Amino acid sequence: MSVYLIFKIAAVGILVSVINQILKQSDKNDYTIITSLAGLLIVLYWVIPYIADLFNYLQKLFQI
* Residue spans per domain, the chain: 3-61
Is 45:61 a contact under the CB 8 Å cutoff?
no
pLDDT score, position 36: 95
Confidence of residue 51 (pLDDT cuts 50, 70, 90): very high
Q: What is the pTM of this model?
A: 0.78
Using alpha carbons, list the distances in angstroms from residue 62 to 49, 51, 53, 54: 20, 17, 14, 12
Confidence of residue 42 (pLDDT cuts 50, 70, 90): very high
The span from the CA of 44 to the CA of 10, in Å, is 13
Residues 9-21 have a mean pLDDT of: 96
